[in-house]
Amino acid sequence: MSLKNFVENLEIISCKPTATGTDIARLMKKEKVGAVVVMEGPEAIGFITDRDLVVRCLSDEVDCEGVSAQDIMSSPVQTISEEASILELTEKMKEKEIRRLVIIDKKNRPVGMVSMADVFELLAHELAQLSVVSTAHNEKLFRRNMHGKKKVA
């Protein structure tokens, strides 16, 4: 299954490079997310996590109002094609030692963001679906075996 099949359920929360640390923290709180993509026009130029805010602003006692997204973002943005599979996604996350990737379309435009938590949720859903199929199959076999057995007196 390609990421395209599940990107419709993913949002991309973004800010401009000029947004302040405070603006970004408020955006994360409002949207209930732990990461924001920094966009310049249609291009993703950086990535900021809640951890970035803590490490690059708060821990150094930097005034979050006086720092911009461009100052604290990680760049370049790690991306993956919406045509990629879940396996390719997890392999890239492992290779790059990251927990979030921006999903891009064929024109390299960001269309979603996926986290390791999203992957776990998707895999849990897929396993649940397999369990339903497996359980139905096992019940069918059980009924067939029960009806085929003769009672011994």
**Residue 105: inside a domain:** yes
**Number of domains observed in the structure of the chain:** 1
Tell me the CATH number at 31: 3.10.580.10
**Residue 145: inside a domain:** no
The single-letter DSSP state of residue 34 is S
**pLDDT in the model for residue 13:** 93
Maximum CA pair distance of the chain?
Answer: 88
**Residue 108: inside a domain:** yes
**Residue 58: inside a domain:** yes
Name the nearest CA neighbour of 102 among 84, 77, 72: 77
What's the pLDDT tens digit per position in 22-39?
A: 999 999 999 999 999 999
| Angle at 138 (CA atoms; ends 136, 143), nearest 5 degrees | 95
User: Residue 119's pLDDT band (boundaries 50, 70, 90)?
Assistant: confident
CA neighbours closer than 13 Å in the CB half-sphere of residue 53? 21
Domain residue limits at 99: 4-116
**Residue 138: inside a domain:** no
Name the nearest CA neighbour of 25 among 60, 71, 58: 58
**Residue 144: inside a domain:** no
Which range is least confidently modeled, 80-89, 105-114, 139-148? 139-148
**Residue 131: inside a domain:** no
